[in-house]
Amino acid sequence: METLFLARAQFAFTSIFHFFFIPLTLGLSIFTAILETAYVKTGNEKYKHLTKFWGTLFLINFAVGVVTGIVMEFQFGMNWSAYSRFVGDIVGVPLAIETLLAFFIESTFIGVWVFGWNKLPKALHAASIWIVALGSTLSAFWILVANSFMQSPVGYKMAANGSQAEMVDFFALLFNPSLWKQFPHVLAGGVVTAGFLVIAVSVWHLCRGTQERNAFETSLKFGAIYAFIGTMLVVLAGHAQMQNLLTTQPMKVAAAEALWESENPASFSLFTIGDEKGLKDVFSIRVPGMLSFLAYNTFEGEVKGIKNLQKEYAVQYGPGNYIPSIVTAYWSFRFMVGAGTLMLFVSLLALYKVIKENYTFSPMAGTLLFWSLLLPWIANTSGWILAEMGRQPWIVFGLLKTENGVTPASVVSSSELLFSLAVFIVIYAALAGTDLFLLKKYASAGIKTAE
Amino acid sequence: MDLQTLWFVIIAFLFISFFVLEGFDFGVGILLPFMSQEDRERRAVINTIGPFWDGNEMWLISAGGVMFAVFPKWYATLFSGFYLLLILMLVALIFRGVAFEFRSKHDNPAWRSFWDWSIFGGSLIPALLWGVAIANFMRGVPIDSSMNATGGVLNLLNPYALLCGITSLFIFSLHGAIFLALKTTDTLKEKAMSLARTLWAPATLLCIICMACTVTETDLYLRLGINPGTVPVFSVLALVSVIFMLQKNAAGWAFAMTTVAIAFSTITIFMGLYPRVLVSSLNPAWSLTIYNSSSSLYSLGIMSIVALLFIPMILIYQGWSYQVFRQRVSKDSELEY
């Protein structure tokens, strides 16, 4: 098999797996920190129990996020050496800052927090989990500085010999408009993920009639508010991000909408079966004008179609195919938005129950609230698939194609890649199984066991 | 001093910190099966590094990240050229990392034993591979004119590199044993002291053989001169002196000496390499140097400000965390999970 295909498969597999854990780390670190702050402020032991309960789940999840993250950091050089040489001058900088600024405080203070319960004053101990949460958030920020550059390059110039891109304005990277849409979206996604897990586990215990009823009612209350705020933010930030994409990567929008020709006003696809080779609809239900409305907040305005953009890009970048996999972009977008819409309803239901202080659930409501915990994972994963697959054929938009970023086969052969991919699949499957086993064990055991 | 040289020094510093700090927690992991068979004692051994190992590992992760930013061609050539070694190292670090967290989360002897062996293997493999890797930095790998290191994994596993690997394994084990002697009490402390005394002779002997082979296998001594200066000499003297301190039960001094030995050996290696970062075995002109592999001066400048701001901060708060957990750990201590 081709090394390009294998390197992409390995990157996709390891990064999707890594991102199963990261949103929960982001959201649950802040959630745990809020609970411990409540404990420090009120002195109420209930909050300490809850901090330990959610903190334990946080740690089980955190460990896998950390070790799979090391793989990501090494992989740029290992499988994408041409890419690393080409953009190291730019993309390397935020990654280096991520390690020096975020990873160090995260990993040092997680040790302080886990082992420091009886060695530090209460407030200082609570501060250490806040610092961990800050570290996770900063880590997300810096990696997204790098990713935003790949989505929408700013603040660079090409080296005289064309061999690499060089940074000319660090602050342009920091104020990249893409970044300030992407970062809130990802962060809010983390809050949502944790919120839905908290709702699911709390409702599960309340339906079971676990003894620590009061604690799980409190948990649900915090979780429902947290999930609702997160969902609102994730939808708003996602909307802003899609609007931004119209200027930075219109092809991604067109592919996500299966919009073959430019339209004004443009229609929104509810359901399309398309002919990807012939670039036309086989069957489609569309809402007239809706895409223009989503794009420009008015029912007018042109949204460019796939065919038109292909022509433009061929002129701008030279002959070639500039159309990403439309099936992937179209359906990942629908899974993300579909899951997001459901999350909005579910979080409203949870919020309604909490406001009414009604903590009894019909079997149907209980089942719904529990299984909704899968929704954020569906949205997170499909969102990243859209972001990365929708950018193809580029690895750095407009500057470097994915096929030109891969390590040459003379350095890393396809058999070596096949071997490493197999190793990652086996180990990650075992990790996922073990992690789920432990999460389930500690989540269902209730608060006493976490002590 | 130009910015490339400044960054060469900073990366050397990151590697020294990594070898000194993660060195002892690799050592503790390697010695875990030899320290005790009893569960609470093993937990105590793990807890000597419990609050620290993750922060220590970040010195490696940051060395990788920083390399990407300031010497992207070094990063690209090294990480792709050492592919299978790094896959093996990643697998080891994955098992080791989750083992610390998972080990005590389930009360079952087979489960505990599995994760204890993961800590052992996950510490042993990187301790060995770092010696192998550094040896190949110096000895050279087949880097061609377009900076690609071909040659594959078998080329990296040459006898000289394996010798250096076994040496680093023994030195980190010795360093870890002395750390354990500093951080434990009673029988655990005695056990750690006796392990340290046992490990000293092979570690020192291997180190001297390794240095001798470096004369024939690399050009380091040609570059440093017949009298290579005080740094490598001090490194050996420090290692030799360890046994006298162990006999006087002065574990603190012994730890200071293994620290000096590790730091000074690393400095020797970087001094011998300068201004190269990865030697080409095909043609000296194709070696990667700090100049042909570096980022633009603008990026180096940004990174310099970042490093001068954050590295002192890291040293302060990591130092503080060592201060918080300065007490010795015993099986009768309150062992967090």
Does A280 map to a domain?
A: no
How many Cα atoms occupy the beta-carbon half-sphere of B106 within 13 Å?
Answer: 21
C-alpha distance from residue A335 to each of A65, A93, A377, A382, A383 (Å) = 24, 33, 11, 6, 8
Distance from CA of A390 to the nearest CA of B (A): 26
Angle between helix B159-183 and helix B251-273 axes, rounded to 10 deg: 150
Give the bridge partners for B329, in sequence order.
B184
Q: Is residue B336 part of a domain?
A: no
Look up tokens 């992937």; give the residue: A328
Q: Which H/E stretch holds residue B288?
A: strand B288-289
Distance CA B174, CA B28 (A): 9
> What does the pLDDT look like over B219-267, one tens digit per residue?
777 776 656 677 878 888 888 898 999 999 888 999 999 999 999 999 9
Distance CA B104, CA A330 (A): 45
Q: CA of A425: which chain B residue's CA is closest?
A: B91
The answer to the question of residue A176 being in a domain is yes
Residue B264 lies in a domain: yes
User: Does A411 reach chain B within 8 Å, measured CB to CB?
Assistant: yes
Mean pLDDT within A97-115: 93
Q: Which residues of B touch A441 (CB under 8 A)?
A: 105-106
**Residues B58, A103: C-beta atoms closer than 8 Å:** yes
Question: B337 lies in a domain?
Answer: no
| % pLDDT > 70, chain B | 97
Q: What CATH number has the domain bearing residue B290?
A: 1.20.1630.10
- Whether A319 is covered by a domain: the verdict is no
Count of domains for chain B: 1
Structural domain count, chain A: 1
**Alpha-carbon torsion (A273, A276, A282, A287), positive or negative:** positive
Q: Is pLDDT at A449 greater than 80 in this prediction? A: no
Residue A289 region by backbone torsions, left for phi larger than 0, else alpha for psi between -120 and 50, else beta: left
Residues 6 or more apart whose Cβ sits within 8 Å of residue B315? none
Give the C-alpha separation, A196 to A81, whole Å.
Answer: 39
- Among the partner-chain residues B57, B72, B334, the one whose CB lies closest to the CB of A118 is B334
Q: Mark yes or no for CB contact A59/B101 under 8 Å.
A: yes
Cα–Cα distance, A147 to B122 (Å, whole number): 31
pLDDT for B337 beyond 70: no
- Kindly state whether residue A77 falls inside one of the protein's structural domains: yes
Structural domain contains residue B86: yes
Residue B233: closest CA among B266, B191, B195, B264: B264
Evaluate whether residue B334 is within a structural domain.
Answer: no
| B75, B91, B310: residue with CB nearest A101 | B310
A23-to-A19, A65, A202, A399, B98 alpha-carbon distances in Å: 7, 9, 19, 30, 18
Reported for A290-294, long-range contacts at CB under 8 A and 24+ positions apart, including other chains, are A291/A257, A291/A259, A291/A263, A291/A265, A291/A266, A291/A267, A292/A263, A292/A264, A292/A265, A292/A266, A293/A265, A293/A268, A294/A239, A294/A242, A294/A243, A294/A268
Instruction: Please identify among residues 144-173 of chain A the ones whose CB lies closer than 8 Å to any CB of chain B.
Output: 159, 164, 166-168, 170
Task: Average the pLDDT over each of A285-289, A426-430, B82-86 and give the range with the smallest value.
Answer: A285-289
**Cβ of A95 and B65 within 8 Å?**
yes
Average pLDDT over residues B64-70: 95
Residues of the domain holding A348? 13-254+327-450
Asked if the structure places residue B329 within a domain, the reply is: no
> Is A315 part of any domain?
no
Q: Is the per-residue pLDDT at A328 higher than 70?
A: yes
Q: Write out pLDDT tens, residues A71-88.
A: 999 999 999 999 999 999
Are the beta carbons of B172 and B31 closer than 8 angstroms? no
Supply the pLDDT for residue B336: 64
How many C-beta neighbours within 10 Å does residue B311 have? 18
| pLDDT tens-digit series, residues A147-163 | 999 999 999 999 888 78
pLDDT of residue A113: 93
Smallest CA–CA distance, residue B38 to chain A, in Å, is 21
Residue B10 sits in which domain range? 3-324
Question: Would you say residue A7 lies in a domain?
Answer: no
Tell me if A389 is assigned to some domain.
yes
Q: Indicate the length of chain A as a whole number.
A: 451
Integer Cα distance of B20 and B242 in angstroms: 15
Token pair 């090294």: residue? B78
Are B196 and B243 in contact, with CB atoms under 8 Å apart? no
What value does the mean pLDDT take over residues B154-183? 94
State both tokens at B39.
């569960």
Contacts of residues A282-290 at CB distance under 8 Å and 24 or more positions apart, as own/partner, are A284/A258, A289/A265
Q: Tell me: the pLDDT tens digits for A208-227?
A: 877 888 889 999 999 999 99
Q: What percent of chain A has pLDDT over 90?
A: 73
Residue B99 lies in a domain: yes
**Residue B184, helix vs strand vs coil:** strand
Determine the residue of chain B that is closest to A79 in CA distance: B80
Here the tokens at position B96 are 């080791």
